[in-house]
Amino acid sequence: MPSIITTIIPTFRRPALLRRAITSALAQDGVSLTVHVFDNASGDETRSLVSELAADDPRLRYQEHERNIGATDNFEFGFKSVETPFFSVLSDDDYLLPGFYQHALDDFAKHPEAIFWAGMTLQVDEKGDIWDVRTDQWPIDGMFLPPEGLMVMMHGKAPIWTGIVFRREILDLIGLPDREALGPSDLDFILRAAASYPFVLRKYPAAVFTLNSASYSATQPLSSFWPGWQKMLLNLETNTSLDGRVKTEALAALHQDARRMLFRRGANALSAGRYDFTLGAAAALHTYYDQRGRAWMLRTLAIACARLPWLQRVYAKAYRTVEHLLVKSRTDLKPRFGHLIRRS
């Protein structure tokens, strides 16, 4: 049977985790699919791993670049390679949950006007603790028409694309993810789609997103994503499918999210001793949002911790303790979803 869905898996030097990602996609029952791995010149055992798995399953395809073309170009290469009616994007350290694709296709059959289908993506740390399930906070599920779906996504409730199946046509309608949106390009892509087209969201556990301490978002400087947030705001501001009132409300909500994001990421970076990031976040809060109190707090703590190693240790321990308590306070997540978590 011809494939209906393509799973795009960009990868770079994570063969152990890649195996989990690939097998989770190949294990999707009742769906004709292609799993396409795009290796960004890893130069390790990635090739042999995929060859081993492909020998037992012809649905697995492999593309290895001659040189490292960068993460953005590798993702773009994957998008441009899609030939099936539907596709999803799976990072090499994440994995899919049983029934994801089948549930999506069932709803697509009922709602042919939907441009994408989103399920629940569990955000899980390297120890297996569940930190959040964003779309669990949605008041209802089902079909969402624009701009209603866009507005529900505000304040940190946007679905993660790990748990989304897109129609291939979305690439013709809104184009590829915006390169200038940098780190948040995935969020920008989803917001642009929801602003103009209907979609289906179901409260069905579809995928697991790994909060990896060595990931791009956890190690890169502020310049890798704050300009991207600014581009995402500009994309929303210039979106011609939104009327004036909706655009004003959406921009206000996204700016509020940006302020909260800058402060939280600045505080998190400080716990890891990434002082340049914290100082940059403080400067952005001051310059763009005139949040002098929060900016002063981050800047003062960063300077003090850089000068006093003992204070850095105290702050880091306190921050981790607060994080731990926040995770533990979400007492309903583990009983509901804990059985779905896999180890590498």
The tens digit of pLDDT for each residue in 52-67 reads: 999 999 999 999 999 9
SS3 207: strand
**pLDDT above 80: residue 264:** yes
Cβ–Cβ < 8 Å for 295, 286: yes
Spatial distance between the Cα atoms of 9 and 11, rounded to a whole number of angstroms: 6
What are the DSSP calls for 155-192, one per residue?
A: TTTPPPGGGEEEETTHHHHT-S--GGG-TTHHHHHHHH
Residue closest to 60 by CA, chosen among 8, 11, 13, 99 = 8
Residue closest to 260 by CA, chosen among 225, 304, 291, 214 = 291
- The pLDDT tens digits for 17-65 are 999 999 999 999 999 999 999 999 999 999 999 999 999 999 999 999 9
Residue % of the chain over a pLDDT of 70: 98
106 or 214: which leads in pLDDT = 106
**pLDDT above 70: residue 217:** no
Q: Taking residues 325-331, report their average pLDDT.
A: 91
| Mean of the per-residue pLDDT values of the chain | 95
Q: Which residues contact 7 (CB under 8 A, 6 or more apart)?
A: 25, 33, 34, 35, 36, 87, 88, 90, 96
**pLDDT above 80: residue 256:** yes
Q: What pLDDT, on a 0 to 100 scale, did the predictor assign at position 216?
A: 62
**pLDDT above 80: residue 268:** yes
Strands (DSSP E) found in 177-333: 199-211
Tell me the β-bridge partners of 63.
38
Spatial distance between the Cα atoms of 31 and 59, rounded to a whole number of angstroms: 11
Cβ–Cβ < 8 Å for 306, 270: no
- The pLDDT tens digits for 75-100 are 999 999 999 999 999 999 999 999 99
In this prediction, residue 1 has a pLDDT band, given cuts at 50, 70 and 90, of: confident
SS3 332: coil
Whether the predicted model's global pTM rises above the 0.75 cut? yes
CA 53 to chain CA centroid, Å, is 26
In this prediction, residue 220 has a pLDDT band, given cuts at 50, 70 and 90, of: confident
